[in-house]
Amino acid sequence: MSTTTSKQSSDLSGLRLRAEVPHTDESISSTIDRAASLWGISRRDLIRQLGHEPNNRDLDTIVSMPLLQSISNAFGVDPAVFGSIAVLKSRQAVLVAPDIRHAYCPLCFEDDWQSGDTPYFRLDWGRLFASHCRTHRTPLFEWEALSRGGQRRLPHAYHLPFEEAADLPLWIINNYQEALSWQLVGDADADTHTLWRALLRVEELWWEEGLGDPGRVTTEAVRRREQILVNLAALFLAAPDLYKPCLVERLFIPPHQHRVLGYDRRRHNRGMTNPGGIIVRRQLPAIQARRIMFILTAHTLGQLDTDLRFETGARIPSGSSNEWVSHVLEYRVARNLAKAHLRAAKNW
């Protein structure tokens, strides 16, 4: 890494990063994290080296043009390159909160590495309405090497040629093996993974309709449906008080699928009994819990083509039934608001 100090004609930092330029499907924060990991520094220190003060900004939206220009200068590319992958601020809400934007596909990382690229995080993986890799049709997993603000630290092995690299951390190896096993069941006929396949179909349907795509030009109809999705999702995070279970933890999940589809109360930021739609972006750090939330959302919309059961074994009523509506309302304190969200879902 070169940190030249010669006087420049502009206010841009003289920092030059000998790192790969961003990929067309990469997030900006991933590009910065790759460079920071290569040189063994934090994301915050790298931004300081670029002449900017770190704050809680969402790097993937790049609301600061001076910062975008500094980053582009450091990577030696035209600002339009980073501008083309930046998310408009108006579309920021379709991404999970920056500090929990750490989902990844182990199979994509392996493909990158074997192809000679440093593995990188796709912007697509940060979508709120996505929990699987559309390339491999496998679950997304959580990246475990994290620093303050959501920085994803890459092991040094990923910066070496695939044939020369040392062993990866055990959790990466385990995620890769599990992703391979789930890839085999994605299109299988066996009834052991019907819930997962139903969720796949729903997420792909939402994608085809343009729902939750941070890079796609949207219509008023799309934005209305996105709001319905997050408002419904928030209903299933509510409970009459903080000591009682909410609906996302009452769904029956086969034990052998719990790591991908299960709910963990310890990783639910339960600070409100009546969470609103905006809370959904940051309330569930665990991606498997977000899957449950959207399974119930799809069920309510009548888009989930499989039956659901409570953990007691009892069948969950049809999503369009009055029985289900009454059941959902039992978990809300602000019942009138919940009724309005459920009425809007009927006009989906």
pLDDT score, position 186: 59
The secondary structure of the chain in percent helix, strand, coil, rounded to multiples of 5, reads: 50, 5, 45
Walk along the chain (348 residues) in steps of 10 and give the mean pLDDT of each run. Answer: 36 72 96 94 91 85 86 93 92 92 97 96 95 95 92 94 85 95 74 89 95 88 93 85 83 89 75 64 83 95 95 94 93 84 90
Distance CA 100, CA 113 (A): 24
**Residues 23, 24, 27, 28, CA torsion sign:** positive
The predicted structure's pLDDT at residue 255:
85
Q: Closest by alpha carbon to 136, among 110, 113, 102?
A: 110
Residue 3, strand partner residues: 15
Both tokens of residue 336? 């009138």
Q: Which long-range contacts (CB under 8 A, 24 or more apart) does 188-197 make?
A: 192/254, 193/257, 194/306, 195/253, 195/257, 195/261, 195/295, 195/306, 195/308, 196/139, 196/257, 196/260, 196/261, 197/306
Question: What is the model's pLDDT at position 7?
Answer: 35
Q: Is 170 exposed, middle or buried (0-12, 13-18, 19+ CB in 10 A)?
A: exposed
Model pTM?
0.90
What pLDDT, on the 0 to 100 scale, is given for residue 26?
A: 97
120's tokens: 């990188």
pLDDT, position 4: 34
Render pLDDT for 199-215 as a digit per residue (tens, 0 to 9): 999 999 999 999 999 98
